[in-house]
């Protein structure tokens, strides 16, 4: 079965739009500010996608742009201005930042209640403690899809390839919070296939095209391909989709899988942030 990320995202958007309308009845329009430093074309594209998604559900959004050579003080200064604005409920700093700027320092400047990407240490800490508030959007999208597919996590063997702060680590924490047995693999893992073959649920976020081949996947697995790479003029994931789809119970395509779900979760979290700020 194909996990249709676009369809699942449309469903989340419809629910989010209804919540936006409820807020509008109280005179509140949720506001998202994105912060983009420099002119990385991929980052610009992601920012555009996020803003047009906001427009679809009635979230007001604006983009704060800083030059490539902006200093850490300038970036933090702009973030602090956004923290103080009552019409901005969510702040997202587009990564990666240009060299020389510390994402950790900048992330710490975002008010935790406006941290709709869920990367602030306060939100990450809450996640680790099993008290999820705002969480990273890609893992949240994967958990949402599993819930919608009726694939329970309790007691499930889950394997994650990739241990980044953005995907692998928070996803592991979210799966543990739901009582899965979780293995996390990465570039130093000695025998990747030995681990991936255990997976009832396999999530791959390495950024390495065709890393996961059919013989590395347990038949009947739920496979989430997070990777996004350009190969020639094609966008591909980390999983050899054509071969793996024949043995997986369910699999996300690239594009049209985890990506749209990630954006939908950002919208949902922006509304969640607005609701909790006005409560
Ligand atoms: P990252 O570069 O921070 O981390 C990559 C991870 O993969 C590391 O843990 C590394 O050890 C591991 N890895 C690399 N090569 C490996 C190998 N050969 N075998 C096993 N593990 C290996 O990346 P990230 O930010 O987590 O992103 C990973 C991929 O997911 C990228 O392609 C990125 O574009 C994509 N991504 C997609 C979405 C989405 O919404 N679809 C969101 C975030 C990231």
Ligand 1 pocket list (CB less than 6 A): 138, 161-164, 166-168, 185-187, 189, 192, 205-208, 211, 226-229, 258-259, 262
94 is known as an active-site residue = yes
Residue 22 maps to a domain: no
Q: Is the peptide bond before 76 cis (omega within 30 degrees of 0)?
A: no
What per-residue confidence (pLDDT) applies to 199? 98
Per-residue pLDDT of the chain (279 residues; tens, 9 = 90+): 999 999 999 999 999 999 999 999 999 999 999 999 999 999 999 999 999 999 999 999 999 999 999 999 999 999 999 999 999 999 999 999 999 999 999 999 999 999 999 999 999 999 999 999 999 999 999 999 999 999 999 999 999 999 999 999 999 999 999 999 999 999 999 999 999 999 999 999 999 999 999 999 999 999 999 999 999 999 999 999 999 999 999 999 999 999 999 999 999 999 999 999 998
Ligand 1 centroid distance, CA of 168 (Å): 8
Q: Which of 50, 114, 238, 240 is catalytic?
A: 50
Residue 265 maps to a domain: no
Give the C-alpha separation, 253 to 3, whole Å: 7
Residue 254 maps to a domain: yes
- Which structural domain, as residue segments, surrounds residue 33? 27-111
User: How does DSSP assign 118-179, residue by residue?
Assistant: --SHHHHHHHHTT--SS--HHHHHHHHHHHHHT---TT-EEEEE---TTTHHHHHHHHHHTT
Cα 69 from chain centre:
27
**Do 103 and 157 reside in the same domain of the chain?**
no
**Do 185 and 85 reside in the same domain of the chain?**
no
- Among 199, 226, 230, which is best to mutate for testing ligand 1, by the most ligand atoms less than 8 A from CB? 226
CATH code where residue 161 lies: 3.40.50.720
Residue 241 maps to a domain: yes
4 is known as an active-site residue = no
**Do 152 and 211 reside in the same domain of the chain?**
yes
Ligand 1 centroid distance, CA of 207 (Å): 4
Residue 269 maps to a domain: no
DSSP β-bridge partners for residue 204:
161, 225
The enclosing H or E element of 61 equals strand 60-66
190 is known as an active-site residue = no
What per-residue confidence (pLDDT) applies to 279? 80
**Do 146 and 254 reside in the same domain of the chain?**
yes
Backbone angles phi and psi of 28, in degrees to 5: -115, 130
**Do 105 and 184 reside in the same domain of the chain?**
no
Give the C-alpha separation, 37 to 68, whole Å: 6
**Do 105 and 142 reside in the same domain of the chain?**
no
Residue 274 maps to a domain: no
Ligand 1 atom nearest residue 258's Cα: 41
For the chain, what's the residue count? 279
Tokens at 50, concatenated: 């996020």
Cα separation values, 238 from 207, 209, 267, 276, 278, Å: 6, 4, 26, 37, 41
Ligand 1 centroid distance, CA of 252 (Å): 16
Tokens at 40, concatenated: 């990385």
> Which sign does the torsion angle of CA 152, 153, 157, 162 carry?
positive
Ligand 1 centroid distance, CA of 229 (Å): 10
Return the residue whose CA atom lies nearest to atom 5 of ligand 1: 206
Q: Which one of 62, 93, 111 terminates a domain?
A: 111
Q: What is the pTM of this model?
A: 0.98
Number of domains observed in the structure of the chain: 2
Residue 19 maps to a domain: no
Q: Which of 114, 115, 117, 238 is catalytic?
A: 117
Residue 270 maps to a domain: no
Return the residue whose CA atom lies nearest to atom 16 of ligand 1: 187
């Amino acid at each position: 079965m194909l996990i249709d990320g676009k369809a699942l995202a449309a469903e989340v958007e419809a629910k989010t739009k209804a919540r936006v309308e409820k807020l509008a009845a109280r005179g509140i329009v949720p506001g998202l500010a994105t912060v983009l430093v420099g002119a990385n074309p991929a980052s610009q594209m992601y920012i555009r996608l996020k803003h047009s998604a906001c427009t679809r559900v009635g979230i007001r959004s604006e983009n704060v742009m800083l030059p490539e050579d902006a200093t850490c003080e300038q970036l933090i200064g702009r973030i602090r201005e956004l923290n103080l604005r009552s019409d901005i409920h969510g702040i997202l700093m587009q990564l990666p930042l240009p060299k020389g700027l510390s994402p950790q320092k900048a992330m710490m400047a975002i008010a935790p209640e406006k941290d709709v990407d869920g990367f602030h240490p306060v939100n990450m800490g809450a996640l680790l403690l099993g008290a999820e508030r705002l969480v990273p959007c890609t893992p949240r999208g994967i958990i949402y899809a599993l819930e919608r597919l009726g694939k329970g996590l309790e007691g499930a063997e889950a394997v994650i390839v990739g241990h980044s702060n953005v995907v692998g680590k928070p996803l592991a924490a979210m799966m543990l919070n739901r009582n899965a047995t979780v293995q996390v693999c990465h570039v130093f893992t000695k025998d990747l296939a030995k681990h991936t073959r255990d997976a009832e649920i396999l999530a791959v976020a390495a950024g390495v095209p065709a890393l996961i081949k059919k013989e590395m996947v347990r038949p009947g697995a739920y496979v989430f391909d997070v990777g996004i790479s350009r190969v020639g003029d094609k966008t591909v994931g980390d999983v050899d989709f054509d071969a793996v789809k024949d043995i997986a119970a369910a699999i996300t395509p690239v594009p049209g899988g985890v990506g749209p779900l990630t954006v939908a979760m950002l919208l949902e979290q922006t509304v969640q942030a607005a609701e909790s700020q006005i409560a």
